[in-house]
Amino acid sequence: MDTEDGADSGSSSGGNMTTNMKEEYGLFVWPCSVILAEYVWQQRLQFSGVSVLELGAGTCLPGLVAAKLGLDVTLTDDSNKLEVLDNMRRVCDLNQLNCKVLGLTWGVWDESIFTLKPKLILGADVLYDASGKLLLLLWFRSL
Ligand SMILES: C[S@@+](CC[C@H](N)C(=O)[O-])C[C@H]1O[C@@H](n2cnc3c(N)ncnc32)[C@H](O)[C@@H]1O
């Protein structure tokens, strides 16, 4: 199905149900993030006291669980995705969590990442396309 904004979309109609996926990827809770959030919870003793950076966090479930555990969490997503970043801030407020929220685009050189020094880097469903995967790997190599 075409959309006005030209974004990727998929829709289906069956009976009286219609779905539409033209929104930002970062505004969905993807299944990987549920699994990663569960992993963070299960490993909570091992992760105790560490600082956490979540990349491509979107709705940021793993980071939120880490913050609920009392860890120092920085949530990041593409700097151009203002709606996604705003949503992160709102979700943190709703959950009374004091996470830092940063625009951080893979492959873009940004001095601020060197001050973060995370002990744990989380990423759920961030290797879903080839160009993003390449950018992320090259960027990691440069750190
Ligand atoms: C499939 S979604 C996964 C979102 C979330 N981690 C989850 O699992 O629910 C991919 C996420 O990566 C982000 N992303 C894509 N390309 C990016 C880039 N070049 N730099 C930073 N984030 C990016 C998207 O905005 C989106 O939030």
- Residues 11-35 have pLDDT tens digits of 444 456 555 455 689 999 999 999 9
Pairwise CA distance, residues 48 & 71, whole Å: 7
Give the CATH number of domain 26-142: 3.40.50.150
pTM comes to 0.84
Q: At residue 140, does pLDDT exceed 60? A: yes
8 A C-beta contact, residue 76 and residue 104: yes
Q: Which comes out higher in pLDDT, residue 7 or 120?
A: 120
Residue boundaries of the structural domains of the chain:
26-142
Q: Determine which residue's CA is closest to atom 17 belonging to ligand 1.
A: 78
- Kindly report the average pLDDT of the chain as a whole number: 84
Q: What is the pLDDT of residue 60?
A: 97
What would the mean pLDDT of 93-99 be, rounded to a whole number? 97
Ligand 1 pocket, CB under 6 A: 25-26, 29-30, 32-33, 56-59, 77-78, 81, 84, 105-106, 124-126, 128, 132, 135
pLDDT in tens, 46-83: 999 999 999 999 999 999 999 999 999 999 999 999 99
> Which residues are registered as beta bridge partners of 53?
74, 121
Protein residue with least CA distance to atom 25, ligand 1: 26
